[in-house]
Amino acid sequence: MADRHSPASRLFPLMLVITAALLAGQALWFYLMGEYARILLPSVLSPVLLVAALMALARHHPSRLAPYLALACGYLLIAVELPRQAGVPLLWIGLPPVLAALLLPLGPAILLNLVLTPIWLALLGDDLLSRHSLAGYLTLVTLAALVPWEHLRQRALLRATDPRDDECPALTRDSLLEQLSGELERARLLDTPLAVLMLHLPQFDMIDEQFGTSARRTMLETLTRGVHAHRREHDVLGRVDESSFWLLLPNTSESAALLLRQQLNQSLSQVMLIETGPLQARTRLGLPRPSETADEFRQRLENATRSLAHG
Amino acid sequence: MQSKYKVRLLQINLLIAALLTAWQALYARHGVDAVILWLATLWLGVTASQAAAPYRRPVTLPWQLLPGLLLAALLWTSPQRHLAWLWAWAVLIMLPQPRWMILLNALLATVTWASLLELIGFEQWALSGILLALLMLLGLSRSQELRTLKRGIRYRARLLPTLPLWPAAQLHRDLEQERRRINEERSHGELMLIRARRFGSWGLAGNLCRQLRPFERCYRLDRLTLGLILISPDAQSAALRRQAVLRQLPERLAVRVVALDRLGSLDDECRRLKQASRATDGSEVHAHG
């Protein structure tokens, strides 16, 4: 999730188009002012940005190239602007690090900014101010990197606190294991039975390899929807690994759990997937032994799930 | 645990930034300039020391306001020296922040940009204005991604990583479910509401979470009110469990305990708890059932 740092899908191409229009305007302005030497760059970069906008618009394969293309255009413009004595080089030296921080993921942005430092300062070409400009430039580079760091930190925090799997409405492994030890202790305290139904999707790896992410998501969603239709409100469904799920059934006797397993098998086998036909799911029941600790029970369930996966 | 939330690298980055601003402060020409840069150094240093707390609670507002104000002050007092910093607005606006603060930062950016007209001449001024506006929009769109992600999980995520502390919305769901469940199990469940002292609620919540049994949960209903759902086999052991939790609480806190099967509206219970805490300001336990 953290590496998917592409700018928001619609706004970004729009802004590329606006910038292209601005550049075309600038070229026209130079023509009217008679500064023919400066026309070339904006009139070349304007169509390049339009191409980048089209690339960013491609919905299914949002190109990583578009931000880099935009960045390269920006760099060229700044590189031409910096050595001009009539201009304000001190203003434009601040633009490259910010541009990189906005367009690229954190790592490439920092790297590029640091590597390009001598080039920008050489283009700036002033001996008097060089120490000051170096400090200013480096400060801007580090400050610009802070915000993406904060984003990464918040994302990581969100992921750590979210109990739900990011692909389907089931608990994550950590939350599931936590619930399992909770339910076991509760069952012991209240002297009620506990059952765990293990489910494994044997077609999962094949679907993932051959048909890609969307087919794999459909499969997961079909399974979770099927399970949710049969479970009670306090039965907990969680994903233990890529292709295996556990359904915790508190206060459920073995016979009731077997009945549920049978119903679930029946209804899942009637589900058809476009790619592979009927949905295959292997199921197995696990019950805690009287003297078992939560850890031992979990270990036993994991072994059983593994043997379920191996057929 | 810290590396999991990318804290260590963030801290290093903050410290490097602090060193660089300090370096600049040493070479500042005017007193005001130096003061602003030292303040920035201080801000970065303190933020670095605080970054380790994995809390999702918002940083206090004045603290978040400072970077924008400092940047504006820097551009305002010595624009010719810190011209390059104008572009920092585009990154600043990318920080996760409340809506009004985005507006305030945009306003400050506009004002500082507008004041540059005389310094840099009309052509450059207009060009930089348009570019800055575009970049700020881009920055906003980047922060929007995080905002939507946050909005999606706000009602279901726990409040602190690894601790069973949940938001109020979760309590509403769990109450319904537990009521049905204890009927089925013939067990005894009760809701304990605790009103924490000002500034003490996060610490108290942490302490409570560590005493909970693995199937019990703690909820944060608002800034000061915490809730626990305690499950026991019968009323007798429920009383023992309640006493055990109460013994661990600091003294003089208002507490209210209601059996789940007698619980009417949660809002009413919270109001009564608030009244009780105001009226007595002492350790009062109102147990029902």
Mutate to test the interface with B, among A93, A149, A155 (most CBs of B within 10 A): A149
Whether the per-residue pLDDT at A239 is higher than 90: the answer is yes
What integer is the mean pLDDT of A62-72?
A: 80
What integer is the mean pLDDT of A12-35?
A: 87
Residues of B within 8 A of A153 (CB-CB) are 5-7, 10, 51
User: Nearest CA of chain B to the CA of A121: how many Å?
Assistant: 13
Q: How many other C-beta atoms can be found within 10 angstroms of the C-beta atom of residue B153? A: 15
pLDDT at A4: 41
Q: What are the Cα distances from residue B8, in Å, to A121, A142, B53, B67?
A: 31, 15, 11, 21
Q: Which of residues 50-109 of A touch B (CB under 8 A)?
A: 87-88, 90-95, 97-99, 101-103
User: Nearest CA of chain B to the CA of A212: how many Å?
Assistant: 24
pLDDT at A85: 63
pLDDT at B254: 86
**Distance (Å, rounded) from C-alpha A247 to C-alpha A268?**
15
Mutate to test the interface with B, among A6, A75, A146, A231 (most CBs of B within 10 A): A146
Of B56, B231, B232, the CB nearest to A161: B56
What three-state secondary structure class fits A134?
A: helix
**Distance (Å, rounded) from C-alpha A251 to C-alpha A186?**
10
Residues A264-311 have pLDDT tens digits of 999 888 888 887 788 888 999 999 998 889 999 999 999 999 998 887
Residues B81-126 have pLDDT tens digits of 888 889 999 999 988 888 888 999 999 999 999 998 888 888 888 8
What integer is the mean pLDDT of B135-148?
A: 86
**pLDDT more than 70, % of chain B:** 91
Whether the per-residue pLDDT at B289 is higher than 50: the answer is no
| Mean pLDDT of chain B, nearest integer | 84
Q: Which of residues 180-219 of A touch B (CB under 8 A)?
A: 181-183, 185-186, 189-192
Q: Which of residues 127-186 of B touch A (CB under 8 A)?
A: 127-128, 130-131, 134-135, 137-139, 141-146, 149-150, 153, 156-162, 164, 177, 180-181, 184-185
**Distance (Å, rounded) from C-alpha B175 to C-alpha B190?**
10
- Beta-carbon pairs below 8 A across chains A and B: 191
Whether the per-residue pLDDT at A1 is higher than 50: the answer is no
DSSP B287: E
Query: Is residue A283 within a helix (H) or strand (E), and if so which, with residue range?
Result: strand A282-286
B63 touches chain A (CB under 8 A): no
What integer is the mean pLDDT of B197-215?
A: 85
**Distance (Å, rounded) from C-alpha B286 to C-alpha B289?**
10
Q: What are the Cα distances from residue B28, in Å, to A132, B33, B35?
A: 9, 6, 9
Structure tokens at A218: 């459909």
Is this prediction's ipTM beyond 0.85? no
What integer is the mean pLDDT of B70-89?
A: 88
Residues A107-149 have pLDDT tens digits of 888 888 888 888 887 777 765 556 777 888 888 899 888 888 8
pLDDT at A205: 87
Residues of A within 8 A of B24 (CB-CB) are 132, 135-136, 139
Tell me the pLDDT band of B55, cut-offs 50, 70 and 90: low
What three-state secondary structure class fits B110?
A: helix
Q: Report the residue count for chain A.
A: 311
Tell me the pLDDT band of A62, cut-offs 50, 70 and 90: low
A234 touches chain B (CB under 8 A): yes
pLDDT at B90: 92
Query: Is residue A275 within a helix (H) or strand (E), and if so which, with residue range?
Result: none
What integer is the mean pLDDT of B155-164?
A: 81
Nearest chain B alpha carbon to A10: B141
Residues A188-220 have pLDDT tens digits of 999 999 999 999 999 888 888 888 888 888 899
A277 touches chain B (CB under 8 A): no
pLDDT at A127: 56
Choose the weakest-confidence range: A185-199, B144-158, B210-224: B144-158
Whether the per-residue pLDDT at B15 is higher than 60: the answer is yes
